[in-house]
A and B are shown apart, each in its own frame.
Chain A
Amino acid sequence: MDKGKLLLIPLTLALIFAIKPYYGGEITIRLNEPTSFTLNTANYSNLIFYSLIYDNFFYLKKNGEIFSNVFQEYRYDAGSKTLSLTVKDNLSFSNGKPLTARNIQVSLKIFMNSDLFAASKLSKTVKNVRVNENQVRIELLADNPDILSLLTAPELVVLAENEMSFSGMFFPHEWEKNHHLTLKANPFYAGGRTYLDKVKITFSESTPPDLFLANPNQFKENFREFDSGIFQNIYLCFLQNDMGQNTKIALFTLLKRFNEATGNKYKELRTLTSDEESPVSIQIKTMSPQKTASILKHSEIKLYILASLSNLEKDLAAYLKNSNFKIETLFIDDSQLMAFLNSAAIQYLLIDKIFQKKVPAEEKISRILKESSFNQFNARYLRMLSELDEVKFSNSQELLMEQIARISEAIVNDGIIFPLFQKNYSLYIHKVWPAIEIDYYGRPLLQKVSKNND
C-alpha cells in the first residue's frame, strides 16, 4: 500500500466519525426490477426495494427493539384493550401532501384486508380502528400486550391516497426500464432526512453495485457479508382439483431439470418449510425424460408465474423453447392473481415465499397452508390449523411436530402444492461503506448511512 493510501485511511475514518455527518452521495443497489411502485413484498428483492419507498408503521431490529418514525407516542392500555398511536405533527408524503392519522387508519385497514398470514393474524385480534385528531386508536377483541409486534410486519406500510406519493426514505425519480431506477431522498421523510441524496437501483450486471444479494460465502475480498436471516422457497401450485396427477409430476420434473440445466442456482427443497426444521421429508419421484416428454408433448400448458419470480423469465423461456413443449409462461402480479382465482383460468402456478429463519416452524406451515392453498382451502384445513393452535399451547414438541407433519402430508397428498427449490441469501455491502444495520427482516436500514466526503 502506498503512503498516500495509508494517510487516507485515518482521514476517511475521521470523516466517517465526524460530529457533523456529511449529507450527499449515492449508493448503488442491485435488485430485481419491480413491476410497479405498488407495494409487493413477495420476494426478498422486493422486500428491500419497497422498504426504500414506503415507511413501515414499526420497525423491528435484530435485537428485538421496536421503533417507529411516524408515531411520536404509542401506548397500550390493557384495561380498555386499546393501543393508541399518536402521529407526529406536520408530517408529509414525498409530494408535500399531509400525512395524517386518517392515512394510518386507511393503511392499516388495507393491510388487514390483504391475503397475508400476518394480516389475518392481526385482523383476528382487532375489534376496530378509530381516529381522533392525530391519534389512531386500535381496540382489540382480547387483551394482547404483544400487539405492537404484530404491527412490525414489513407489509404494514404507510400508504398515500395518491399512487405517486410515498412515505419512505426515498421516492422514485427516474426509471430506465431493464436498466436502472433512481430514487431521490424524500425531504419530508418522517424519520428525518437521509444522509444519502440518491439510491440507484440497477437491474443489470454491468454496473458494479455497492449492495446486492447473492448466495452465501462469496465475494469475501471487497464486501462485507450479512446473514439476511431469511430464505426463499419456490413451490409449484395446482389451483384446480380435477387435474391429472401425471401432468403435475411431469411439470414438476421439468422444472427440476430446468434448475439442473441452468447450473443448480437453487437448492433442492424436500419439505414445505426448510429441510433443517421440518419433521417430514417429502419425496416426489421425478419421471424419466422420455416419460416426461410423452406426457407433456400433447399438453397445452399455461404456467402462471408470480411477478416476483420475473428473474427466471429469460432462462425459463429459453429452456422451454428448447424442450419443444407447448408450455406458455405468463407472469402475473399478486393483485391479478386474486382476480383470476375464482375462474378456471389458472391451473399451474409457480409461487415463491420468503420466510424468516427465526420464525417457528408451526407459524411457517400455517402461513403456507393459508396463503398457498388458494381457493382449495376447506374445512378440513381449518380444523388442522385449529389443532395446530391447540398443540402450540400443549408444550409438547412431539405433538407439535406431528401436527406439522400431518398438515404437510395433507396438502402435498391432496396435490395442492409441491416444494421445488430453496434459495438462501446473503446481503453483500462493499467495504467502502461504513457498517449498515440490517433489521429483523433482513432489510438494510439506509437512513443513517453516510458516504464519507473525501
Chain B
Amino acid sequence: MKKVICSLLLLFLYGNNVFGQQSAEALVMESTAFLKAFFINRFDVNVAVARFENDSELTDTAMQKIYQMLISRLENEKNIHIADLLINFSNGRGEFNLGRADDLHFLLGLKLIQNKSKTGLGLTIFSRLQDKIVAIKYFEKALSKGEMDFLNTRNFSFSELGFSKLLEFESKKNLMDIQSLAGSDGRDQYFFYFPDEIVIYLASNMRLEKYLQFKLAWTRPIYPVLHYEGKLLLLQMNQGLVLTAGNNFSPYAKVLTFRNSQWQEIQKIDFVPCKYLILNQNPYLVGARYDEGRNYFKDKIYFMPFSDPADRAGIYEKKATPALALDFSVQEGQLQAVHLIDRNYNYHLFTSEFAEQFPLPEKKGASLAALGGAWLAVSDYTRTSDQLFFYDIQNGGQRLVYSEKIPGEIQFISAGVWQNIRGFWTGVRQERDGLERFMVQFWGKRDGQR
C-alpha cells in the first residue's frame, strides 16, 4: 500500500512533466529531433526555413511563436548553421527573405494542418544542391483550447529583456536627427540637428551637457515647410571629422569639416546623405532628395564616391520608390538591405542590388531606422496610438521581437549609442492640455553593448 501511495504522490508532484508537456512544444521537439537525426552526419550545413504555411486554427501570432521555438532549438545544433530569414507572417503564410538563398544547402518547408481535434506539423527538407525534396515528416498533437489561446496571444518576448526606454528628456521643437561620436577624451559627443543649428552635447553620467552650438546659414532657395525633416551624418575620415546635414527645405546638403577648432562648410551636395558605406572596396555616401518642402524622399537613391569630401565626381543613382522614411542596413561596412516606407505608409525591402523583395502590404509604418545589420525599428503611422516595433534582421530576415506603445507621435528614429549601449533615438511630439512638447528618447537593450 505504501508503494501505491508513494507512486501517486510522485505522479502529483511531477504531473506536469509526465502528462502535461505542452503539445506545441512537443511538436517542435519532435521536429528538432527529426532534423537532428537527418543532419547528424553532415557538417557546416547552412539551413533556413523558406516556407511556412498554416491551415490550422492557429493564428499568425501562434505561427510566429512555433517558428521562434523551432529556430531557437536549431540554433543549439552544432553541425548546422540555421539562418533566420523570416520577414513577416500574414494571412497564414510566412514571408522569407530569399535574397541570399544561394548560400543555403537545405531549405525547410513547414505546414500546420488541422486534423479534426489534432494539430499537425508537416516538415519538408529540400536539398538545394540535389534540387529535390529529400525528406518529409508529419507530426500530430492535440492542442487544448487553453494552449491555443495562449499561443494566439501577442507576446513574443519579455519586454524587460528587450528594448526599453533608457533615457527621456524634453528638447526644443523641430529636432530632426541625432548622431553621436566617441570623443577623444572618452566622452561621447551627441549632435542634435535643428533646422537652423547643430547643438553638440557631452554625456555626463545620465545627463547631457551643452558643449557647443553652431548656426547653419541656409541660403535661397528655401522651401518653407510645415514639417521639418532632415538627416545628419558624422564621418571620421583621414581628412578629419566630417559632418553632412541635409533636409527638406533646402535643395542642398552641407558638408562641413572640423578645422581650426570650428566647423567650416567645404562643399554642397544636391542630395541628403543618409549613410556612409563601402561598395566594391570604395567608400560612398548614399542618400536621396526630398521633394522640396514636403515630407518624403523622391524615388531615386544616390551613390557618391566619398574618399575625398571635396570631390563630387562619379555620382550614380538607382531607382527606388518615393519614401517617407529610408534607411540602409549595413554589416561590416557592406550594404545588406534598403528599408523604406512609401507614401502610402507601406514598408518595402530592397536587396543590396536594389531588387525589391515581394511586397509586404500588411507591414506599415511612418519612420524607421536600421541599427547596423542587427535591428530595425519601425514606428506605427496612426496618430491616435503610436507604437515602436523592433525587428531582428540579423540574418536578413525580419522577425518582430519587441513592441512598445508610445504616448505621442514619433517624428524620427535614428540608430545611436547611449552609455555604451547601442539602440535607437526617437523624437516624439506630445500634446497635453493644448501644450506641445518635443521629447527625445533612447531605446536600447541593456545587454546591447557596442
Binding site for B on A (CB under 8 A): 14-15, 17-24, 88-92, 96, 98, 187-193, 195, 447-448, 453
Contacts and interface: CB of A to CB of B under 8 A. Distances in A.
A23 B222 CA distance: 18
A447 B226 contact: yes
Contacts of B223: 187-188, 193
Interface string B210-232: 00000000111111111100000
B296 interface: yes
B310 to A, nearest CB: 26
Given A17-B382, A18-B366, A90-B218, A188 B224 contact: yes
Contacts of B366: 18-20
A96 B384 CA distance: 38
B221 to A, nearest CB: 6
A20 B292 contact: no
Contacts of A98: 220
A23 B295 CA distance: 8
Interface in B296-349: 296, 324, 343-345
A352 to B, nearest CB: 35
B291 A23 contact: yes
B324 A20 contact: yes
B220 A92 contact: yes
A19 B293 contact: no
B379 interface: yes
A21 B382 CA distance: 10
B293 A187 contact: yes
Given A18-B345, A92-B222, A187 B292 contact: yes
Contacts of A90: 218-222
Given A90-B220, A189-B224, 11 more contacts: A18-B382, A20-B345, A22-B343, A23-B291, A23-B295, A24-B343, A92-B221, A187-B223, A192-B224, A193-B292, A195-B226
Contact of A19 (B221, B226, B344, B379): B379
B221 A21 contact: no
A96 B292 CA distance: 13
Interface residues of B, number: 32
A448 B381 contact: no
Given A20-B295, A22-B343, A193 B381 contact: no
Given A18-B383, A22-B343, A191 B224 contact: yes
Contacts of B293: 187, 192-193
Contacts of A17: 382-384
Contact of A91 (B224, B227, B296, B381): B224
B386 interface: yes
Given A17-B384, A453-B344, A192 B220 contact: no
- Chain A interface mostly helix, strand, loop or mixed? loop
A310 to B, nearest CB: 35
B381 A20 contact: yes
B409 interface: yes
A193 B220 contact: no
Nearest to A197: B294
B410 interface: yes
Nearest to A190: B224
6 contacts: A20-B381, A188-B222, A188-B223, A192-B224, A193-B293, A195-B226
A433 B343 CA distance: 19
A19 B219 contact: no
A7 to B, nearest CB: 14
The list of the 4 closest CB pairs from A to B, nearest first, reads A193-B293, A192-B226, A90-B222, A17-B383
A101 to B, nearest CB: 15
A20 B366 CA distance: 6
Nearest to B294: A23
A98 B291 CA distance: 21
A447 B380 CA distance: 25
A453 B343 contact: yes
A14 B345 CA distance: 11
B409 A96 contact: no
A191 B293 CA distance: 11
Contacts of B382: 14, 17-19
Nearest to A14: B382
Interface string B401-417: 00000000111000000
A448 B345 CA distance: 19
Contacts of B222: 89-92, 188
A234 to B, nearest CB: 39
A188 B221 contact: yes
A285 to B, nearest CB: 56
B226 A448 contact: yes
B112 to A, nearest CB: 27
Contacts of A189: 224
A351 to B, nearest CB: 38
A193 B223 CA distance: 7
Nearest to B341: A20
A19 B220 contact: no
B227 A20 contact: yes
Contacts of A193: 223-226, 292-294
Contacts of B220: 90, 92, 96, 98
Contacts of B227: 20-21, 192
Given A91-B224, A187-B293, A193-B226, A19 B218 contact: no
Contacts of A19: 366-367, 379-383, 386, 409-411
Nearest to A191: B224
A370 B226 CA distance: 41
Contacts of A195: 226
Nearest to A10: B382
